[in-house]
Amino acid sequence: MIRAFGYTIKQAFVQLFRNKNMSTASVFSITAMMLILGLFFMLVVNVNLLASSAEDQFDSIEVYLLDEVTQEKAEEMLEEIEDFDGVARAYYMSKDDAMEEMKSRWGENAYLLDGLVDNPFPASIIITATDLSVEGDIVDQLEGMEGIEDIKYYQEMVGKILSITNYIQTGALILIGILIIVSIVVVSNTIKLTVHARAQEINIMKYVGATNWFIRGPFLVEGIIIGILSSVISAGIVGFAYYQFVESFQQRLLILFSSGMVPFEFIMINLIIIFVAIGISIGALGSILSMRRFLDT
Amino acid sequence: MIEFKNVTKMYGSNVGVENIDITIEKGEFVFLVGPSGAGKSTFIKLMLKEIEADEGTITVADREVTSLSNRLVPQHRRNIGIVFQDFRLLPKKTVFENVAFAMEILHAPRKVIKKQVPLMLSLVGISSKANQYPHQLSAGEQQRVAIARAIVNNPPVLIADEPTGNLDPDTAEEIMNILQTINNRGTTIVMVTHAKDIVDRMGKRVVAINKGKIVRDAEGAYREDD
Ligand SMILES: Nc1ncnc2c1ncn2[C@@H]1O[C@H](COP(=O)(O)OP(=O)(O)OP(=O)(O)O)[C@@H](O)[C@H]1O
Ligand SMILES: [Mg+2]
């Protein structure tokens, strides 16, 4: 068993080196596929995060109060609002609270806010709806109340974001599928060349009574090595690019979206797992496919 | 050792072999003769289960070949050594490696390979060329290597498909001597040949096929009308 394994691995490397050019070419093309794949992967993961944080962040209705509304009056309004249909939670945010929240969101740039003489942020009541679709009804009821300066809600925008994300995800999945199929074809063509180069040897192996798996083994391992090599290279490149991107844009994005970007570590770990899994499958499938006809007795 | 019972193989409407009945005992040396297209290669391919019989049953080394599942074909092939007219050695392997290859496939331990291969090389008289490559050898020497490879795993049956077809008469005779030696060790041999002189000189059982049928099965000589 171990002997057979050693033979298989050794043969696989011998074949890889004997077909240096073809092996390199297929590692390159699969790496290219995987780079694109990685791009889509990062896009999808971040769009996902964006969508769910948009849902979290914008699923609330912000009711800005006139400056003349006192704290007691506001508490009364809060109680009234909590009884509306479709309201899950509601809380009061004073002018000072609003300032603090803005400061924490701006992070390093918060000192800019210190220069302000008057606190420009209004007090507000923040309402969380049980569901995006009932926000309109809640707003209708709010409009009958006194002391409200402005109502902000994002029902339509969130709805749009969610449907756009859906399109992006579906599109990316289809593209990923196509890329994987193309990669399998690339590997299978490389292996086919090795198989042809070794046609005579395989023929003799069959006459001497080698099992199909014994014959297939080295080619399978060859394909898997190509797959793993490509996946490690492309995971490295994609990971590096993502790291650079996060480093330079994270701060700016944080101001727009509280969530920021998916952390580098998370992307990297998943990238490696997914790429290696895909690489192994591409390599294995490609080589099995290329040998199928050859091994039919 | 080898038994065909009423075996028929058609290629579409072409006859490969038709209603073949034959028994070859353990330790026999049999010549299979007949004109081109007679069905000799078909006979051998059926034994190896390279092709399937349409009718009848074939048994080799107590194993019924015709009902064998594909999974067991490799096992079955290990019972049959085979030598071809064109040697079919691997050009990038040395003589030693070409023979060792057949043992590696069966996962033989390195130690056993190192013992068994030189034994086989000396049996076919080519020990001195163990580290040469096939292109450095004469045709006769290459055929010796091919024979060593065919018998290195001690198969009970050896098939030779025109093994002397590419050789001059003297070299052919040397090869025949080696086959006789192997046969003396108990290996059953089936040899396909067109070489009348060899068949006549060896005085073995001769099975003549024509148009897919056995037309003669007797001890002795090759006859022109076969
Ligand atoms: N794959 C095939 N498809 C169709 N017909 C075939 C096929 N293989 C062999 N035949 C036919 O079967 C018959 C027997 O062929 P076979 O190869 O067994 O002859 P043979 O005795 O080995 O001839 P030779 O001495 O030329 O090698 C021939 O008529 C041949 O044309
Ligand atoms: Mg033939």
Is A212 in Cβ contact with B74 (below 8 Å)?
A: yes
Q: What is the ipTM of this complex?
A: 0.81
Q: Which residue, chain included where needed, has tokens 């068994």?
A: B116
The pLDDT assigned to B146 comes to 95
Q: How far is the C-alpha of A114 from the C-alpha of A212, rounded, in Å? A: 76
Class of A60-153 per CATH? Answer: alpha beta
Cβ-defined contact of B101 to A3 (cutoff 8 Å): no
Q: What is the Å distance from ligand 1's center to B42 Cα?
A: 6
Q: Is the pLDDT of residue B174 over 80?
A: yes
Task: Categorize the per-residue pLDDT at B125 as very low, low, confident or very high, splitting at 50, 70 and 90.
Answer: very high
Dist. CA A178–CA A172, nearest whole Å: 10
Q: What is the mean pLDDT of residues B188-206?
A: 93
- The CATH superfamily assigned to B25-41+74-219 is P-loop containing nucleotide triphosphate hydrolases (3.40.50.300)
Which residue among B4, B20, B40 has the greatest number of ligand 1 atoms within 8 angstroms of its CB, and so is best to mutate? B40
Residue A215 Cα distances to A59, A233, A287, B167, angstroms:
60, 29, 12, 32
B224 band by pLDDT with thresholds 50, 70 and 90: low
Mean pLDDT per block of 10 residues along chain A (297 residues) reads 73 79 84 87 82 75 86 86 85 86 76 76 86 81 85 80 84 87 83 78 85 86 89 91 83 63 83 89 86 70
Q: Which residue on chain B is closest to A295 by alpha carbon? A: B70
Query: What is the pTM for the complete model shown?
Result: 0.70
Q: Which residues of A touch B120 (CB under 8 A)?
A: none
All structural domains of chain B with their residue ranges: 25-41+74-219
- Residue B210 CA to residue B198 CA, distance in Å, equals 20
Domain segments of chain A as ranges: 2-54+158-290, 60-153
User: Which-ligand-closest: CA of B45?
Assistant: 1
* Geometric angle at alpha carbon A294, from A10 and B69, rounded to 5°: 100
CA angle B140, B144, B150 (to 5 degrees): 140
Whether ligand 1 lies within 6 angstroms of the CB of B207 is answered as no
Amino acid at the residue B13: S
C-alpha span between A116 and B192 (Å, rounded) = 105
Helix axes B169-184, B110-123, angle to 10 degrees: 130
Per-residue confidence (pLDDT) for residue A248, from 0 to 100:
81
Q: Is B24 helix (H, G, I), strand (E, B) or coil?
A: strand
B138 lines ligand 1 (CB under 6 A): no
What pLDDT, on a 0 to 100 scale, did the predictor assign at position A242?
A: 87
Q: How far apart are CA A229 and CA A235, in angstroms?
A: 10
Give the nearest ligand 1 atom to B12 CA: 4
pLDDT tens across B28-40, in order? 999 999 999 999 9
Q: Does the pLDDT at position B113 exceed 90? A: yes
The ligand 1 atom at the shortest distance from the C-alpha of residue B35 is 25
Contact between B153 and A208 using a beta-carbon 8 Å cutoff: yes
